[in-house]
Structures are given as C-alpha cells and as structure tokens.
Amino acid sequence: MKVTIAKSSGFCKGVQNAVDTALRIEPENVYILGELIHNPSVSEALKKRGIQTVESVSSVPNGATLILRSHGVGEEIYKQCEERGLKVIDCTCPFVKHTQEIVRTCSAEGRPIVVVGEKTHPEVIGICGWCRSEAYVVDDKTQDFSFLKDKNPVVVVQTTYSEEKFEKIIKNIEKVCGKTVEIFKTICYTTKERQREAAELSKQCDAMIVIGGLNSSNTNKLYEICKANCANVYRLSDSNDFQVQTIKKFKNVGIVSGASTPHTQTQEVLFKMENNTEVKAANEMDEVVAQMDNGQSKLKKGQLVTAIISSASDEGVAVLLPFFKKEILLEKDEIDCEEYKKEDYTAKIGDEIEVMVVSSANPVKLSQKIIAQLKEEEGKIEAISNGEEFDVTCTGFNKGGLTATMGTYSVFVPAKEIRMGYVKELDKYVGKKLRLKALEIKKSDRKKEIIASQRVILEEEKAAREQAKAEKESEFFATINVGDVVEGKVERVTNFGAFVSVNGFDCLAHISDLSWSGAKNVTDVLEIGKKYQFKVLKIDAENKKVSIGYKQLQPQPWDLVAEKYAEGDVVHGKVVRIVPFGAFVEIENGVDGLVHVSQISHEWLENPTSVLNIGEEVDAKILVLDPANKKMTLSIKALLPEPEVTKVRPRRENTANEDHGERKARKPRQPRENKEDDEFREWTEGGLGGASIAEMLQNKNND
C-alpha cells in the first residue's frame, strides 16, 4: 500500500496562531468567544487548562481576558468588550481582517455587500457585523440574483469557501449586474492550495482519508472535493474513527486534513496504520514515514513543535513529534517545572506539550524550559518595542559604537546615540551599564538584533527637567512679590553674596544686604546649609532673577542707641578712623561717635594723630546724642583731669608807643577755613553739636 499525504495538511497560520496563543497564555480568568477551532481534541485541551468557552460577551466577567478566535467578530463585539473593560487578545486571521476592512469601507460608501459563504458560519457572521449598508449572504449558485440589479454591489467571499463553487456563483451574479459589480476574491491562498492538492490527490488515489472536526467547514469542503474525484472517501474526526478494514484493500491511499486539524491527529492515524499487523505486511508505511521525515516535517534548530507525552521515566519524558517516526526523550533538566517527578508526568500521558528543537542532529534534543525563557524574553521585547526602557552591560565596541547582548538578542548602540555630544573614547564604556530605548528591532531566523539609544533617554530627562523647572519658575514668579518675607536655605556662597534656595529657586542675597555694619565675608553672617528669613528686594521675571536681603529684617544698630545710651554716659570704644578735625570711635558694631580734635586733649593739638592711633581703645563721654540722624559727639578730655593753672606775669608797657598814648587795640584773629573744616561742617550739618563745637573752635582761634 502506498500512502500519500497532502503537503498543505494541518493547521494554517491563522489557526496555528490562535491555538499557540491559547496554549501559551496564563489561563486564569481567560475566556474564548465561541469554539476556538472546530476540533474536539483542541477544545478539550483548552478546557483542561481552565480556559472557558462562552457564546456571548455578556457571559464574560468584567475585567477578564477574552480571546477572539481566527474567524473574527463584528464591530459591535469590540464595543461590548470595551464597555465591560475586557482585555482583548485578537487572534482574527489576517485574511479575515482584510475582508472585514473591505466590507467596512465599501458599506460606508452606501454600497450593498454580498457575502458568498455559509450564513451560519462564524466568519460570515463576523464579516456581516462590519456592514453599514444592505448585506446579503448567498450560498447557492442557482439563487435568483435579480435583486442585485442596478445596486452596484460589492462581493466578498468566506476565506475557507470552495473556490469552484464561488466561481459559479460569481458568473450568475455578473449576468445580472454586468460590470457594475465589484468582486473581491478573498479566499485564503492556503485554502486554495489545500483544495487544489485535495483535488489532484483524490484523482490519483483509490481511497482518500479526510481528517478533521466533523463541524469544520473547510474540512467538509475538502471532503466534498475528494468525493467528486474519488469513489472511496472516508471522513475521520480523529484516529479513533479509523478502521483498518476500510483501507487495507486499496493500493493507493491519500490523506488530507483541514486547517483546524493538528498534525498530531494525522500522525496518530499514520501510527495506527503502521502498527496494525494486517496492514504492515502489505503496505509501504516505512517509505511514507521516511518521506515525511525528509520532507515538510524535517526538524530544524529553534523550531517549536507540539508533542504528545507517551511515557515518563527517571530520565525524563518520552514524546511523539508530528510526522516523526520515533519517540524522543525530553530530558528532565529541559522540562519547565520546579522539580521533576516521574509520577506527575505519568498522569499526563496523552497530553500535548510545546517543545523547542535545540538540536536537530541525531539524537534530536528538545527543551521545554527554553520556551518559557524565550516567551519571557519576547514579552520583554514587546515592551521594549513599545518604548519601555531597558538596561544592558556593554561588552565591547567597534568603529560604529557599543555592543552588548540581552538574552538571544544582540544589542548595538551607535556612537551618536550614546549620549548628547560626541564620544571619542568608546573603550571607556566597556563594563558599564547602559540605559537604553530601542530604535529598531530586527528579527529573522539568522539574527536577532536591537539597535538602541541612550541619548534619547538623556534628552527626554533633560527636557522633562527643563519643563519642570519652567513650570516651577512660572509658579514661583506668579506668587512672589517685592516686600515678601520668605524662608530660604543657603546653598552656596561667593565673594559677592550668597545663593539662597527659596521654594527651589535660586535667589541672590548680595553681601551688601547681609549686615547693616557691612560684612567682609558672607560666612561672617550666614552659614551654608542653614535656613534664614529674607526680604524680597527686587524681582526680574524676564531674566529670572530675584534679589533678597537679610539685614532688612534685622534691627539697625542706631535703632537701639536711644535705649542703650544717653548724653553724659561714659562709653568705651576703638578708634576706627582719624581725620584732621578729629577721630571716629566705634562704640559697637555699626555705631560710631566723633571725638573732635578739641575734645581729645586739654592741650591744643595740630593733628589728632599726635596722640591717637587707629585701633587704639579709649574711653569717652557722650556730649551730644542724635539717634535720628545717627550721630554722636564724644569727648575724651572730659574724662581727663584739668591741668594746673599758672599765673601769667603782667606785660610790660610798650615804650615804643608811649608817644602815641594808649596802645592800639589788637585785631581779633580770624578763624582759618580749610578742607578739614568743610568736612567737619558736613558732618555737623543739621545742628548736631554744631554750636558747642564751633564755639570751641572759635575759642581756640581767639587764643
């Protein structure tokens, strides 16, 4: 017996994606809208995982996860999911999506839609759910299409529909509508190929076996095609329906399977044929299996395969691979479990598991654990592709930039993407951690690479800081006013003042605004890190500058003088400045008094420096006190003992003038006016001690 298997048998890509998604996802609180695929074994496997099948969105709890199968759904379903806050995992076949988009666009233009397909099929129902105008479903080439005349219709077709039947229906529609009809042949190309292979194979074989769920539309179409070309066609839902007696009399047997039929079901039928002694003596099954091993099912490194657990031992689990002749050992170290126990997997014999081909050489090596690692990695890659930041350690560099790895992906950071500005010495980054965002992710069978940038993160952070600063400054200047009293922390000092943080904004307290008596150093008044109260003196919002003062909130020394001193008091001070007309004595910080030259000594002095030195400490008596004008007149000689008075010898008569009678009266000497007297008058302006001191000067001149 010669057995030939159609090359396009088994899951199509859309179904494979839906099944892989359902078998990979964490099953907690996950639901499927309708039967995922028309295959009882798959439905049972999903049920065992805890994934529930529902017939309406209303049956899904709010916030749950809902898988949409490859058949697709109408627009209203998406709206219902959004209203219930469901997380939707959309497994709609891309070909079905394409058909839905055609219907949505054309119906929005007001054109009637004709869907060729089975009216009750989920895909057709979903397609009609995107129509916004008239929609008609047709499935009979003999139907009267006169209702379409002059309606300018658009025709689409169910992706798994019979191509031959569709062509006949289109001819009849065109007879009525002529060139006004627009036809989209939306049958999936894999469906076309599957149907073509079934037609060719069924013409060459004595008997045909069609494997797939009994309610699978595409499998039933394959059965109809085979039946049209071959007298002996047997429909199997799985290997349990296979009876050896039905085929053992035939020399050439062909096998086809639907798009919703797992490869494992076809394999089980083949194994059953091979292991049956009545058939084995007369067939060519070894040739069939060898053909399968060397053809489409040849294992490749990195390939994901659905395997069936056949036995368990202390070494690991033996599995059957699709279209593979022998059992393969999945070593216990490669099983995705916390602790391997043989008895746990003995109970799972017959279950399907997904494994990866680590090595396709003989012996074949499989791993389940690496799949979990790769899925975790791919989850991270998906997040990275959506803009999530990731980090790697730089392992090398080349002329173009830095290199690193992340799992199975290589990472490349171009030199211009390392930071803001030119980077000359790339070797300094080796061994350092890089914070990155993906610019591009390349993935192929040969290479997986992430091209990334650290510069974009730094630029984003800089922009965010500047934005936050601008907002803070705007808020700051909107709330601060000249005259406000604010609290600030001294952050740093310079020789011209202190920079003080007020609500996060740097303000300048100039050194001249720190002390009424003047400060030589900022740190004589303020301490770095401490908080003080300041008064706002000036605001320049345009240039982002604020001037504040510390001394403005402190009492001026002269404000307290009236409370501390009175005329007649004796005070102690230090000579801080000497001028020709006297000396200034500092009584306390910020309070100076003038000792006029005439009040320094009982003796007449040409210059105060003859008896006083700067820095010398003296005692003096307050003669005049005027706090309002910040002036004080002092006297040192008032505290000195009076000198002894000596008798003056009478003058002799001037004989030279005897002939002239009485001596001429002497002219009084005029006081000298000079620069020093001008300075003294300026100091005494306003009458501060002016009369008494001026009188003293006059007396001195008269003497």
Q: Is 247 in contact with 253 (CB distance < 8 Å)?
A: yes
Question: Which residues on adjacent β-strands are paired with residue 209?
Answer: 234, 255
Closest of 118, 77, 73 to residue 92, by C-alpha: 73
Say if residues 117 and 158 touch (Cβ distance below 8 Å).
yes
Helix (H) or strand (E) holding 699: helix 690-702
Alpha carbon 626 to chain centroid, angstroms:
69
Q: Give the CA count within 13 Å in the CB-facing half-sphere of 142.
A: 0
The C-alpha atoms of residue 601 and residue 433 are separated, in whole angstroms, by 81
Q: Any idea how long the chain is?
A: 703
437 neighbors 456 (Cβ within 8 angstroms): yes
Residue 627 to residue 557: CA distance in whole angstroms: 10
Q: Catalytic pick from 26, 44, 83, 123? A: 123
- Rounded CA gap, 246 and 680, in Å? 138
Residue ranges of E strands in 313-432: 316-320, 327-331, 352-359, 365-367, 390-393, 396-397, 401-406, 409-414
Say how far apart CA 383 and CA 363 lie, in whole Å. Answer: 37
Best CA proximity match to 3, nearest among 325, 297, 290, 307: 290
The end-to-end CA distance of the chain, in Å, is: 157
Tell which residue, 580, 608, 610, 599, has the closest CA to residue 699. Answer: 599
Number of helices (H), then strands (E), belonging to the chain: the values are 17, 33
Per-residue CA distances from 497 to 480, 487, 521, 570, 638 (Å): 21, 17, 8, 37, 43
Structure token digits, residue 216 = 């699978």
Q: Which of 40, 231, 221, 223 has the alpha carbon at shortest distance from 117?
A: 221
Catalytic-residue membership of 339 = no
CA-wise closest residue to 305 among 538, 567, 20, 506: 20
Q: List residues with catalytic annotation.
A: 123
